[in-house]
Chains A and B, each alone.
Chain A
Amino acid sequence: AQSVTQLGSHVSVSEGALVLLRCNYSSSVPPYLFWYVQYPNQGLQLLLKYTSAATLVKGINGFEAEFKKSETSFHLTKPSAHMSDAAEYFCAVKEGGYQKVTFGTGTKLQVIP
């Protein structure tokens, strides 16, 4: 069975500092992994996804994530936080051949000016 663990329900960073949001997954087969962002009072939108083509995945707004099979991790990073990055971030996993997506519990990113 697939599952996702996001460490840290709240993360605070200063503007211009590195953003690191952690995600670990559990899957019985090679997974497909996603990061979504949710701005206040909006639906989720895709930041980036891992589909086995490359382990380092670049997404929108300067975010990237690295798939590490040995660590079962897919952490999200951004070199320099911007005020507009303040939002809720969700990691998600989907097993191949199966339409069910399992979401993590979310991490709220606060950016301090």
Chain B
Amino acid sequence: NAGVTQTPKFRVLKTGQSMTLLCAQDMNHEYMYWYRQDPGMGLRLIHYSVGEGTTAKGEVPDGYNVSRLKKQNFLLGLESAAPSQTSVYFCASSFLARSTGELFFGEGSRLTVL
């Protein structure tokens, strides 16, 4: 009963380094999302996907790229990490569009950029 799995759970980067966060869901959901959570700011949508092979920008896409080559996986990449990208990143998926359906979240990936 895995649901939404994120790897890695913790990562420390130096400014300018690159990395990829992997999200995998086993619920056959069409929709997948990447959010970042910062204190006092709630969750902000970075990028999302409405199906395999599609991606779209959310509220705060700058500095991030995504890919959805397989329906069950949604990758979030940081090409050149900056301290402002220190955050907790959550992946989520849903069967219906996020406006009406329940989102299922992973446990989060805590990223620190020094």
Do A and B assemble together?
no
Interface of B toward A, CB cutoff 8 Å:
none
Interface of A toward B, CB cutoff 8 Å:
none
